[in-house]
Amino acid sequence: MNESEKPKSLFTRILGTTADRRASLRRWLRVLLGVGVSLATLIALFYVEEDWRGKRAWNAYAKEAAARGEILDIAALAPPRIPDEQNFAMTPFLAPLFDFLPGTQTWRNRQAATNRMQFAAGIPDNSRVQKGDWHLGERMDWPAWQAAFEQVARKAAGPPAGTNATLTTNRVEAAKAVLAALQRCDPVFSELRTASQQRPQCRFNLRYDEENPAGVLLPHLAVLKGCVRILTLRAGAELTLGQTESAVNDLDLAFYLTDAVRAEPVLISQLVRCAAAQFTLQPVWEGLADRRWSDAQLQHLQRRLQQFDFLADARFALRGERAFGNGILVYVRNHPRGYSDLGMAEIGNESESSMMGLLATLMPRGWFYQEQLNYNRLFTQWIEPGLDVPSRRVNPKILTENEAAIGKSLSPGLALLTQHRILSAMLLPALTRACQKFTYAQTMVDEAALACALERYRLANGRYPDSLAELAPKFMEKLPHDIITGEPLKYRRADNDRFVLYSVGWNGKDDGGAIAMSGRSKTSRDLAEGDWAWPQP
């Protein structure tokens, strides 16, 4: 029997000869290679198609938006540049805040910028004094404020130096002490007052062209807010001392600083303005409650208060917020791993942030265009139906219902990925709450202006009118209406030569002028409930 006729082993019969195994391996490699090439081709085609589809959908939307006059790019909303000699923001006290090394957000003089941002650091705030809140009909408690200033001074001096201030329970003497403690601010306010008269325009030079819009610095907001707080504190002390003209002058500068960022298409800038405007109402309210203002001063304050238009500012700010969101989406599309640079990674833990960074890297670029498309659509669907600026109306019901519906569509789950709403869930701010703050701020400055007109009527006639209609046109050319209902604000004369003036508030329910309180200690207004009333002392 020759060699070829020898019986094959079991191993050979099962797996074949070495040559057979090699041939089989080559066949399988060719099959796997073919499958791999086909799969890679399919994946490539998928990415190409998704990129094309997403970009095409976004370009179509952007074209339609441009035709409607919408601006989606933050650089296009940025206020125009102003020559330094005409720019209030370039006065020596404020200029270091945006004096960056060229092309960066690194301060040329960090210490100077820090000094400006800490300008109000040594001034007690209401949360420490806990006395004096016009929202609740409370006058400033000057003895409490003097004690608070003394506590700050003792802390700054440290043991054993201390201070030798003598505390008093007399409001006038305490107001003098507070005014004296604020004298260190005089040089700054003197400079700002002069600059406000000599530099007619204001533009803080934010880095609107920053590649990552989430990293744009806003160091001026705390400075301006702090200055307004100090000015209104000074105005209140001056009012207590009978220095009404000085109080009006300080309020004028506070109003000017409040409006210094009005041209900024930044939501937080406009919300800071809302807060600052409400600071200014403390001395305005106290002067009205104690009947210290003259007719000329009341006319001046009324005219200035009527210049605020927080609803128009709200629409402008929300458009800016949307534009900033678009900039962030473009940044993430171009730098997928930059997800962790957005300041949003804190919503999850570090592993979730890393996972999202990896997911963003693997996603087709077209999905980012889809994310951008959905972000803009959701933004518009949420706000526009509930905010009617031309009619000066806000519809809380629509805003709240839209918020609930959109919030449901942004609930965590796989649908966020498949429907391209991951970044919308991260970027969409608390828009309804923001609209509520704008609406409340506008309502209260409207009521403050009306209160000035009512006091002027009382000075002229010895009593308050029976209806607001009696104010027009002599004491107020056009009466503001309730922003919530569109009807006239509620008004009635009250005992002790007083009046009741209010809006029905966010819930749209007339509670007869009753203010709802919130918080564990019930020491702040609940803006969602009760009426928005001009407080009585």
- Enumerate the β-bridge partners of residue 87: 201
- Enumerate the β-bridge partners of residue 491: 501
The more confident residue out of 240 and 354 is 240
Quick check: 442 and 308 in contact, CB under 8 A? yes
Q: Which pLDDT value is given to residue 130?
A: 63
**Closest by alpha carbon to 216, among 109, 376, 75?**
75
Sort strands 515-518 and 524-530 into parallel, antiparallel or unpaired.
antiparallel
- Enumerate the β-bridge partners of residue 515: 530
Given a cut of 90, whether residue 25 has pLDDT beyond it is: no
Q: Which pLDDT value is given to residue 7?
A: 55
Grade residue 346 by pLDDT with cuts at 50, 70 and 90.
Answer: very low
Share of the chain above pLDDT 90, in %: 63
Q: Which pLDDT value is given to residue 430?
A: 84
56 phi and psi, to 5 degrees?
A: -65, -45
Q: What is the DSSP letter of 413?
A: S
Given a cut of 50, whether residue 11 has pLDDT beyond it is: no
Torsion of CA 333, 334, 337, 339, to 10 degrees: -50
Q: How far is Cα 492 from Cα 498, in angstroms, rounded to an integer?
A: 9
**Closest by alpha carbon to 262, among 252, 254, 274, 248?**
274
Grade residue 344 by pLDDT with cuts at 50, 70 and 90.
Answer: very low
Helix (H, G, I), strand (E, B) or coil at 495: coil
Helix (H, G, I), strand (E, B) or coil at 389: coil
Helix (H, G, I), strand (E, B) or coil at 100: strand
CB atoms closer than 10 angstroms to residue 42 = 10
Tell me what the mean pLDDT of segment 456-479 comes to.
97
Given a cut of 70, whether residue 350 has pLDDT beyond it is: no
Grade residue 347 by pLDDT with cuts at 50, 70 and 90.
Answer: very low
Given a cut of 90, whether residue 155 has pLDDT beyond it is: no
Given a cut of 50, whether residue 1 has pLDDT beyond it is: no
Q: Which pLDDT value is given to residue 354?
A: 63
Q: Which residues contact 189 (CB under 8 A, 6 or more apart)?
A: 227, 231, 250, 253
Torsion of CA 324, 433, 435, 62, to 10 degrees: 30
Tell me what the mean pLDDT of segment 353-367 comes to.
74
Query: Under the phi-then-psi rule, with left for phi > 0, alpha for psi from -120 to 50, and beta for the rest, what region is 420?
Result: left
Q: How far is Cα 21 from Cα 230, in angstroms, rounded to an integer?
A: 89
String of b and e for 517-532 (b: at least 16 CB within 10 Å)?
eeeeeeeebebebbbb
Helix (H, G, I), strand (E, B) or coil at 477: coil
The more confident residue out of 454 and 524 is 454
DSSP 306-338: TT--HHHHHHHHHHHHHHHHHHHHHHHHH-GGG
Grade residue 125 by pLDDT with cuts at 50, 70 and 90.
Answer: confident
Q: Which pLDDT value is given to residue 345?
A: 41
Quick check: 261 and 269 in contact, CB under 8 A? yes
Q: Which pLDDT value is given to residue 159?
A: 58
Given a cut of 90, whether residue 15 has pLDDT beyond it is: no
Lowest mean pLDDT, pick from 186-195, 325-334, 367-376, 419-428: 419-428
Which of the residue ranges 17-26, 138-147, 264-273, 412-421 has the most confident prediction, judged by mean pLDDT?
264-273
Given a cut of 70, whether residue 77 has pLDDT beyond it is: yes
H or E stretch covering 353: helix 350-362
Q: How far is Cα 99 from Cα 215, in angstroms, rounded to an integer?
A: 16
Given a cut of 70, whether residue 172 has pLDDT beyond it is: yes
